[in-house]
Chains A and B, each alone.
Chain A
Amino acid sequence: MVDSTGNETKHAPGQHPDMPPPRLSVGAVGWVRQNLFSSIPNSVLTLVSAALILYIVPGLLDWAIFSAQVDGNSRTDCTNTGACWALVRVRFNQFMFGFYPASEYWRVILAGILLLLALAYILFEHLPYRTWGLLYAALYPIIAFFLLAGGLGLEFVETDRWGGLMLTIVIGITGIAASLPIGIILALGRRSQMPIVRVLCVAFIEFIRGVPLITVLFMASVMLPLFLPEGVNFNKLLRALIGVALFSSAYMAEVIRGGLQAIPKGQYEAAQALGLSYWKMMGLIVLPQALKIVIPGIVNTFIGLFKDSTLVLIIGLFDLLGIVKAAITDANWIGLSHEAYAFAGATFWIFCFSMSRYSIWLENKLHTGHKR
């Protein structure tokens, strides 16, 4: 056959079969060509990156694993050329539990396992008995409180003795769980048509965002008692928790406000025209879309909050980083700060990276194909 331009064609119009793509555009070779060597700058970057990896990784692995040692009970036992993980091994329980009594560690571990179960029900939709699971997750803070602090027949453990990773998680989870709902309320309030509500929300957000977290923590721990009547004295950890929660909810409110602004006016109008009340419109139509848009920002705030929890050190609470810092000043272990910080950093990284991966998974799951 011959088409209008005079070129010979093999198929009648409308009869062209689907053909496989050219071999070089698919498969491993195609991937390498497209992603690593698609242009001269890209090829140069690929080679430079490969050189850097070859330069850094073997040394790092050698230090951390091949030439490292785990045995030993003090600095003087560290004889290998690589890392000396003995400090982390010896102090591991303290890094995890702080000064929690060793006989009661099981309570922290149990609370941790129950936390994983509660999180699973909150984070994943298709688990069996989800309604019960969510009810359990809602009650979890109470369960965890009694497990960790004592009461109901369990020995009381003062919060002064909490510390290490356990304290970091307590502050992080409480801050996250409190800051999202408070942030939503503040964001809605800031866009409210009621002037008093709006002014209060704006004032709160701008005040909290205008001061450093350290200041908020100092105020919560040092200044707050000055304003309270004589004899009223509430827990230092509780004050830190309130400070962290309020601080991150101000940031959260602004992140969520960004999402609210991205929702077209037509969505509000359609919801109103159907007769939905303000709270139903927000809860069913606007917030599900707005929160989905700002998942990256929300998780960003969560991760920031989780890491900022290390600042509680300055009001005398020993979170993971605080207790690691205390350990390296021990005369027995002088000079092992690399290993201790590497351990703390790796632990934080695992938590933050998990949050990041979950958010990506959630974004993909919630994607309903309406983006253009």
Chain B
Amino acid sequence: MSEAAEASTGGMQISDEIAIQIAGMHKWYGEFHVLKDINLTVNRGERIVICGPSGSGKSTLIRCINRLEEHQQGQIVVNDIELTNDLKNIAEIRREVGMVFQHFNLFPHLTVLDNLTLAPIWVRKTPKAQAEAEAMKYLERVKIPEQALKYPGQLSGGQQQRVAIARSLCMNPQIMLFDEPTSALDPEMIAEVLDVMVGLAESGMTMLCVTHEMGFARRVANRVIFMDEGEIIEQNEPEEFFHNPQSDRTKLFLSQILHN
């Protein structure tokens, strides 16, 4: 399947190396079985869009990958490190996996620049001057270097989300997780965030995006995964997924989100 995907997305390389391997994973919230027998292998360089109705467990799935949620059964291996209760493993994985949230979650008491340099300085022990230089580089990349000394509360939603992406990138992650990055944005700001994400995909980043932006999925994803009621119902490359959905639930979901 990865061959076909490569053909459809042109120059973006997908390697044979495995970035994330999830096998037979289950998760419960109390009595509620939220993720059921998840099996998913992500190669380095893949760009995966996860969609599905609300409550289908898609956010929970990607939050399990950096252990913001704990799974109770099965195996998750990220960068050849298995996620267990071992705090050292968790810390190691979190250093390599960036995450962007629906509500940005910038640190409101710090300037944009301090938001970006905090983790490199305190987690990676990067010297301050070097961390700031790199932070400015990433702010250029998300096109808001002039906001470096402002506080998050002074920025628009779209700008905040771009800062949040830059903040994750400052840790030089190998994998990026996006949890509905555009759902909390005003319509005119969605494009500026998606542009940054497209640029990131073109640079070869391994990405897992929970999103309903089907235009984005068509443009950059090499695989689209549809989830419902805690299960992966089907997955395919975008063209096939949108034009030839297999299951009835996928057809219903697509008809609901595509007609508006």
Q: Determine whether the beta carbon of A266 is less than 8 Å from that of B153.
A: no
Q: Is B68 in contact with chain A by the CB < 8 A criterion?
A: yes
Q: Is A110 in contact with chain B by the CB < 8 A criterion?
A: no
Interface flags for B153-172 (1: CB within 8 Å of A; 0: not) read 11000000000100110010
- Least CB distance from B175 to A in Å reads 12
Q: Determine whether the beta carbon of A274 is less than 8 Å from that of B105.
A: no
Q: Determine whether the beta carbon of B105 is less than 8 Å from that of A289.
A: no
Q: Is B107 in contact with chain A by the CB < 8 A criterion?
A: yes
Given A368-B151, A370-B108, the answer on whether A272 and B94 have CB atoms closer than 8 Å is yes
Which chain B residues numbered 62 to 86 have a C-beta less than 8 Å away from chain A? Answer: 66-68
B95 partner residues in chain A, CB cutoff 8 A: 275
Q: Determine whether the beta carbon of A270 is less than 8 Å from that of B108.
A: no
Q: Determine whether the beta carbon of B103 is less than 8 Å from that of A266.
A: yes
B66 partner residues in chain A, CB cutoff 8 A: 272-273
How far is A168 from B241 in the complex, measured between Cα atoms in Å? Answer: 76
Q: Determine whether the beta carbon of A274 is less than 8 Å from that of B154.
A: no
A272 partner residues in chain B, CB cutoff 8 A: 66-68, 94
Assign chain A's interface to a size class: 20 to 34
How far is A130 from B121 in the complex, measured between Cα atoms in Å? Answer: 22
By secondary structure, the A interface counts as helix
Q: Determine whether the beta carbon of A274 is less than 8 Å from that of B101.
A: no
A270 partner residues in chain B, CB cutoff 8 A: 99, 101, 105-107, 164
Q: Is B238 in contact with chain A by the CB < 8 A criterion?
A: no
A366 partner residues in chain B, CB cutoff 8 A: 109
Q: Is A71 in contact with chain B by the CB < 8 A criterion?
A: no
Q: Is B122 in contact with chain A by the CB < 8 A criterion?
A: yes
Q: Is B98 in contact with chain A by the CB < 8 A criterion?
A: yes
Which chain B residues numbered 164 to 186 have a C-beta less than 8 Å away from chain A? Answer: 164, 167-168, 171
A370 partner residues in chain B, CB cutoff 8 A: 108-109, 151-153
Q: Is B133 in contact with chain A by the CB < 8 A criterion?
A: no
Q: Is A277 in contact with chain B by the CB < 8 A criterion?
A: yes
Q: Determine whether the beta carbon of B109 is less than 8 Å from that of A289.
A: yes
Q: Determine whether the beta carbon of A284 is less than 8 Å from that of B153.
A: no
Q: Is B210 in contact with chain A by the CB < 8 A criterion?
A: no
Which chain B residues numbered 94 to 124 have a C-beta less than 8 Å away from chain A? Answer: 94-95, 97-99, 101, 103, 105-109, 118-119, 122-123
How far is A312 from B169 in the complex, measured between Cα atoms in Å? Answer: 57
Q: Determine whether the beta carbon of A273 is less than 8 Å from that of B153.
A: no
A276 partner residues in chain B, CB cutoff 8 A: 118-119, 122-123
Q: Is B91 in contact with chain A by the CB < 8 A criterion?
A: yes
Q: Determine whether the beta carbon of B68 is less than 8 Å from that of A368.
A: no
Q: Determine whether the beta carbon of B105 is less than 8 Å from that of A267.
A: yes
Q: Is A352 in contact with chain B by the CB < 8 A criterion?
A: no
For the complex of A and B, 9 pairs with smallest distance between CB atoms: A370-B153, A270-B105, A370-B108, A266-B105, A274-B119, A273-B99, A275-B94, A368-B151, A275-B95
* A-B residue pairs in contact (CB < 8 Å), sample of 11: A269-B101, A270-B105, A270-B107, A272-B66, A273-B66, A274-B94, A274-B118, A274-B167, A276-B122, A277-B91, A289-B109
